A and B are shown apart, each in its own frame.
Chain A
């Protein structure tokens, strides 16, 4: 019996091959966030946003301001959220006071037009993606993804590596 159950073609071994491996692989894929990556701190998000806002206006497009409420919400509703940013970056935000901002990001997206910081997501130990969107009411609902990286040595500041702009809507 023991010999039979150890045979490569025995049902338990076949079951393992057919089901166990895909289950393990799917579990690994689903728990991408559980790869031991630490959550982004407010300070990290603020430094990344500082970089994104500065580069956006300096190198990408200098026309539209970034919605202040979205920055407020992305920085955990920290009342001193503007202090986390440089003066150049602060000047690129819309002039809203936090008290006038909607309660949640979802609500804010529903009620306001503008350039939103939508999410800040860590994709690796030294990589993150900041997603910004432009509401339909402006110029077609563009999406901008800012890929940031920081070196493993030195000051370890998050720096912009690539921007991907998509979702163009032609009128």
Chain B
């Protein structure tokens, strides 16, 4: 009985901690922009330089901010697909019907940890999850710690 009580208490503790993680503050626009900057940089320097990141998905990921490209460095901007925000579909959902590499979502996966999920439609159907950490200084700077690539599509 005592064992059962301890087990139940531990499980409730885990559940509470989990719900606490979900209740973390939303990811600010500045944080998302900085995280995207590092994701795009890491993707092109260390992973693959072939397909560009869909410009519209970045536009949506940055709250349809008309100046979204100015939040990125020239290097990151040069890795976005050509086009303009004006030509983007009305919603991120509609935009995902297109082919290309999308920034799909930002998830705060724990204190000091953020995941940026990108996906590819059409041939391949990859998903890339960039797991990022930041330091605990005055200025938060997200950096990619590990990339998980999955959802391979076999012909």
Contact = CB atoms under 8 A, between A and B. Distances in A.
Taking chain A's interface residues, is the majority helix, strand, or loop, or is none over half, making it mixed? Answer: mixed
Contact of B46 (A55, A62, A142, A160): A142
Taking chain B's interface residues, is the majority helix, strand, or loop, or is none over half, making it mixed? Answer: mixed
Interface in A117-171: 139-140, 142, 159-166, 168, 170
Given A62-B48, A139-B46, A160-B152, 8 more contacts: A60-B47, A60-B149, A142-B46, A159-B152, A161-B152, A168-B42, A168-B144, A168-B145
19 contacts: A55-B152, A59-B124, A59-B126, A59-B149, A60-B47, A61-B47, A63-B49, A139-B46, A161-B152, A162-B150, A163-B150, A164-B148, A164-B149, A165-B47, A165-B147, A166-B145, A168-B46, A168-B144, A168-B145
A60 B150 contact: no
Contact of A166 (B147, B150, B152): B147
Nearest to B146: A166
A62 B126 CA distance: 16
Interface residues of B, number: 19
Nearest to B48: A61
B143 to A, nearest CB: 7
Interface residues of A, number: 19
B154 interface: yes
A160 B146 CA distance: 18
B50 interface: yes
B45 interface: yes
Contacts of A62: 48, 50
